[in-house]
Amino acid sequence: MLAKDEYVADRIPMGINAEDLFHSMADGMMLIRLLAAIDPDCVDMRTVNKGHSLNIFKVRQNIDYGLTCAQGKIKLIGINASTFLDKVTYLVLGVCWQLARLLATQKISLKDCHELYRLAGPDEELTELAKKKPEELLVRWINFHVKAAGQDCTV
């Protein structure tokens, strides 16, 4: 998603066996850019401190701004700027997982994928189907194709 991003492209690709992810997330810029990829209107890049040699106060401002932008989009229980500065692995991974899930499922809707109308049950209105969470639609889509392939199992 961010391989060509002007602010964080130099951090990608990350090593999968190293702690590159935690170092990349430590200044808040990756968090901010991921949020901008999810919802471009939630981040105002004019308010973000840019550069490679930011002092701790500017880094903390970036992280706090990113967390403020993330409120309402992901769960942030027990997560603050220190989580990223101290590289608390399980909490940073939790934030990354939620952001990745949002990125992966943001286009799963009747508005973006018109063919999902085929997933409606015999007595189900399209408005009811449109209210389903993206994850529920994805499970229905998988089960639809499993059934079409003649299999008896479901997800």
- CATH number, position 49: 1.10.418.10
Q: What is the pLDDT of residue 19?
A: 87
Residues 99 and 129 in one domain: no
Q: What is the pLDDT of residue 89?
A: 93
Q: How many domains, in total, are found in the chain?
A: 2
Supply 44's token pair: 């105002």
Residues 94 and 133 in one domain: no
Q: What is the pLDDT of residue 86?
A: 95
Residues 22 and 90 in one domain: yes
d(CA 62, CA 1): 20
Residues 30 and 77 in one domain: yes
Record the pTM.
0.79
Range of the domain at 75: 9-105
List of the chain residues with pLDDT < 50: none
Please, is 20 exposed, middle or buried when counting C-beta atoms within 10 Å of its C-beta (0-12, 13-18, 19+)? middle
Residues 54 and 17 in one domain: yes
Give the CA distances from residue 84 to residues 14, 24, 66, 77, in Å, rounded to whole numbers and listed in that order.
17, 10, 11, 14
**Residue 1 within a domain:** no
